[in-house]
Amino acid sequence: MLFAFLVSCSKVPITGRNQLHLLPESQMIAMSLTAYSDFLKTSEVVEKGNDYSSVNRVSDKLIPAVEAVLKQEGYADLIEGYVWEVTLVESKEVNAWCMPGGKIVVYTGILDYTKTDAGLAVVMGHEIAHAVARHGNERMSQGLLASTGYIALDIALANQPTETRALLLGAVGVGTTVGVLLPFSRLQESEADRLGLIFMAASGYDPHTAIDFWTRMSANGTSVPEFLSTHPSDETRINNIKNEYMVEAMKFYKTN
């Protein structure tokens, strides 16, 4: 057990925080791909219209920028094996997520709060940040130890396959599929805010847009429990964006 902890440490890109990963990322990506395919079979996918165009327009700018930033900062290896894909799903849920491997889902319910392409870039940048920072792996590692007592994914799958797959979905944010969502820690949320601002700025979207978006989310917190249950939007978050992360993000800002 001690050996596993010692050899499974890695660093979050840009923030440099040490984190624990007990699971091979290749297995996380493989399981995520299966879960993503299963999710699409039971979801109403939107394939045309203005919202569809907006989501794809933002992803077309955001994904190359993410790749460029990670390469520039020396973290290109974090997205090895990623095959990016973005899907818009018809749902009243105020939610979005990005799985290990680059599968991104945006729910139409959150578009009432994003308002513009820049607002959508806030959300998508934030969710991509969770994926490239490998927060899902970190949460699932913690969950496997706490819930199943296993540190090996293959053993957990063999002994408790249903529980383990549910744990994966909860770890990457697909809460409604399993009925429970593993909450991101405030530290992970702060990292996703910080990295997400950098990603959107490098895409050509003004990171100041994030302040307006999170203010709208905070003001309507009681009406959007699905999203805010794991993405707490409060005064501290907005202040951190204004006073700590904005200066750094603006260094990456590329106007079109």
| Residues tagged active-site | 127
| The pairing of beta strand 85-89 with beta strand 103-107 | parallel
| The pairing of beta strand 103-107 with beta strand 96-98 | antiparallel
**Distance of alpha carbon 189 from alpha carbon 174, whole angstroms:** 16
What DSSP element (H or E) covers 43?
none
Coil vs helix vs strand at 91: coil
117 CA to centre of own chain: 18
Q: Which residue has the tokens 């319910």?
A: 109
Q: Within 13 Å, how many C-alpha atoms sit on residue 111's CB side?
A: 17
